[in-house]
């Protein structure tokens, strides 16, 4: 098992590359890295982009600001990666603390991993778009989730979906006459396509190449003369001299 590399080990190097002078920036960045570990931001990420995000934040706090472009040149990552790390930090409860509280208060609660938050957000957005749930801003205090009545009517008291009667299913099944009529309509619509596909299939069929039968030789002399007669394998061989070997 490959051990996780502590990003704080690289902070001093990047701190020097950015020519930062205030050591409080370094301590603040180390505190940010520790908080990232607690909030599952470090796992699966390279140390350089974590250090870059921490130094961008710390330099802004203490007035010795380094832009994202300056930081990415030092840590050698893309600006997009740094912005993603900054956004993940903003989604934590620590982002709501002041600078003094951030040093003095250590939140015991761990945040969910960023990928988990992203997946949950995607599920919530799809659910809201489908009309099954309403946005949380419109939900009352009593009902934390407002579920569409039409959605509830699809389920019985036991929580299972109601069965559909056979009479209701029959209206979805085509008769033989309807199926034949539908097939005729489909063939008339895609007649040109079917003809083109048949032509392409016929042109692709190629007859296998007939291989020439191999000649058999009884002696080495016959084999050598046969090779010389058919073709020259390389220009570095004196074939005239080979012909005279067996004279």
**pLDDT in 10s for each residue of the chain, 247 residues:** 556 778 888 888 899 999 988 888 888 989 888 888 888 888 888 888 899 999 999 999 888 888 889 999 998 888 898 898 888 888 888 888 888 888 788 887 777 778 777 777 776 665 655 555 444 444 444 443 333 444 434 444 444 444 555 555 566 677 888 788 878 877 777 788 888 888 887 776 666 677 777 777 777 777 777 776 666 666 777 777 766 776 6
Dist. CA 4–CA 139, nearest whole Å: 42
User: Could you give all domains of the chain from N- to C-terminal order, each with its CATH number?
Assistant: 7-104 (1.10.472.10), 218-246 (no CATH)
Task: Write the CB contacts of 83 (distance below 8 Å, at least 6 apart in sequence).
Answer: 68
Residue 160's CB is within 10 A of a number of other CB atoms, namely: 8
pLDDT tens per residue across span 194-237: 888 888 877 766 666 777 777 777 777 777 777 766 666 667 77
Q: Which long-range contacts (CB under 8 A, 24 or more apart) does 136-145 make?
A: none
Dist. CA 214–CA 18, nearest whole Å: 74
β-bridge mates for residue 133, sequence order: 147
237 closest CA partner among 229, 246, 228 = 228
Residue 57's CB is within 10 A of a number of other CB atoms, namely: 18
């Amino acid at each position: 098992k490959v051990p996780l590399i502590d990003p704080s080990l690289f902070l001093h190097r990047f701190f020097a590359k950015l020519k930062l002078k205030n050591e409080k920036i370094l301590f603040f960045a180390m505190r940010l890295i520790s908080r990232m570990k607690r909030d599952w931001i470090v796992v699966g990420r390279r140390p350089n982009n974590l250090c870059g995000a921490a130094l961008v934040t710390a330099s802004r706090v203490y007035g010795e600001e380094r832009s994202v472009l300056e930081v990415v040149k030092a840590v050698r990552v893309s600006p997009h990666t740094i912005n993603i790390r900054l956004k993940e930090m903003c989604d934590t409860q620590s982002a709501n603390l002041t600078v003094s509280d951030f040093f003095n208060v250590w939140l015991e609660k761990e945040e969910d991993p960023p990928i988990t938050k992203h997946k949950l957000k995607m599920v919530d957005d799809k659910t809201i778009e489908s009309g099954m749930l309403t946005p949380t801003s419109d939900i009352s205090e009593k009902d934390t989730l407002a579920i569409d009545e039409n959605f509830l009517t699809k389920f019985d008291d036991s929580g299972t979906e109601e069965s559909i009667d056979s009479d209701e299913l029959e209206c979805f099944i085509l008769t033989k006459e309807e199926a034949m009529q539908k097939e005729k309509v489909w063939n008339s619509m895609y007649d040109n396509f079917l003809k083109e596909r048949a032509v392409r299939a016929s042109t692709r069929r190629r007859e296998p190449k007939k291989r020439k039968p191999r000649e058999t030789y009884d002696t080495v002399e016959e084999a050598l003369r046969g090779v010389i007669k058919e073709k020259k394998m390389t220009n570095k061989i004196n074939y005239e001299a080979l012909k005279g070997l067996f004279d």
